[in-house]
Amino acid sequence: MGNSFLTYRSGRWLWISVAIAVGLVLHYVSYQSRTVAYGGSVEGLLYGVAGTGLIVILMYLGHRKRSYASGTGTLQGWVSAHVYLGLLTLLLIPMHAGFRFGWDVHTLAFVLLAVVVLSGVVGLFLYQSIPGRLTRYEAGQQADKIDPEIARLLSDMRALMKGKSDVLVQIYKAELAASQNRAPKGWSLLLKGLGGDLLSARSADLAKKVATIPSSDQATFQILSQLLLKKTQLEVNLLHQMRLRNALQAWLYVHVPVSIAMVFAVGVHLIAVFLY
Partner 1 sequence: MSFQIIRKILSRGEMRERTLEVPGETLRIGRGVSNDLQLEDLSVLLNHAEIRCDEQGRYILRDTSQAQATYVNRALVEEAVLHHGDVIRIQHYLLSVSQPDSSGPLVLIVEEAPKAQVEPSLALMPRLQLSEGRWTRWRIAGVLILLILMGSVVALALGQREVFMPGAVSVKHSKFANQCEVCHASVKPVWKFVDNASCQTCHRSDILSPAHFKQEVALAPSPLCASCHLEHKGQKVLADVPDLKCVQCHGDLRAKDQSVPGIAAVHGFTDDHPEFAISRSRPDRAAPPLRVRLNDKAELKDDGKLKLNHALHLKLENDYLEKMGIKPLTCTECHRSDDEGRYMRPISFQRDCTQCHAGDIDLAPLLPGRSVTHGRQPEILRQQLDEILSAVYLQAHPEEAKKPEHLRWIPGRRLPGQPQSMQERYVLDGRAEAEKILFSSRVKKCLKCHSAEPFESSPIPAVSENRLVSVPVEAQENQEAQLSPPGFTQARVPAQESEQEGIGALEASEESSKRGGNAFASGASAEMNVVTTKNSTLDKYSRSKITDRAQFRIARVNVPVQWLPYSRFDHQAHAALPELKLKGKENWCVTCHENAPTSLKSEDVLLPSITLCRTCHMESAGAQASCRSCHDFHVPKLLLPSSFVPDGGKPKDTSP
Enumerate residues 185-214 that contact partner 1 by CB under 8 A. 185-187, 189-190
Nearer to partner 1, 21 or 198 (CB): 198
Least Å from the CB of residue 215 to partner 1: 32
- Is residue 51 within 8 Å of 98, Cβ to Cβ? no
- Is residue 116 within 8 Å of 262, Cβ to Cβ? yes
Sign of CA dihedral 76, 78, 79, 80: positive
Q: Which of 16, 21, 27, 41 binds partner 1 (CB under 8 A)?
A: 41
Nearer to partner 1, 213 or 227 (CB): 227
Nearer to partner 1, 21 or 46 (CB): 46
Least Å from the CB of residue 196 to partner 1: 17
Site string for partner 1, 95-134 (x = CB under 8 A): ---x-x-xxxxx-x---x------------------x--x
Type of residue numbered 260: I
Nearer to partner 1, 133 or 209 (CB): 133
Q: DSSP per residue over 50-106, as a string?
A: HHHHHHHHHHHHHHHTT-TT--SS-HHHHHHHHHHHHHHHHHHHHHHTTT---SSHH
Q: Which of 144, 166, 197, 205 binds partner 1 (CB under 8 A)?
A: 144
Q: Which of 198, 163, 164 is nearest to 178 (CA)?
A: 198
Enumerate residues 227-246 that contact partner 1 by CB under 8 A. 235, 238-239, 242-243, 245-246
Q: Which of 128, 135, 218, 222 binds partner 1 (CB under 8 A)?
A: 135
Nearer to partner 1, 112 or 206 (CB): 112
Enumerate residues 50-69 that contact partner 1 by CB under 8 A. 65, 68-69
Nearer to partner 1, 76 or 220 (CB): 76
Q: Which of 22, 25, 35, 219 binds partner 1 (CB under 8 A)?
A: 35
CA angle 194, 197, 203 (to 5 degrees): 130
Please tell me the number of Cα atoms within 13 Å of 13 on its side-chain side: 20
Nearer to partner 1, 57 or 127 (CB): 127
- Is residue 38 within 8 Å of 96, Cβ to Cβ? no
Please state the φ and ψ torsions of residue 40, each to the nearest 5 degrees: -85, -10
Enumerate residues 152-171 that contact partner 1 by CB under 8 A. 154
Give helix 252-275 / helix 105-140 axis angle, nearest 10°.
170
Contacts 24+ apart (CB under 8 A), 142-145: 143/238, 143/241, 143/242, 143/245
Least Å from the CB of residue 210 to partner 1: 27
Q: Which of 146, 161, 171, 213 binds partner 1 (CB under 8 A)?
A: 146
Q: Does residue 1 belong to the site contacting partner 1 (CB under 8 A)?
A: no
- Is residue 13 within 8 Å of 87, Cβ to Cβ? no
Nearer to partner 1, 3 or 215 (CB): 3
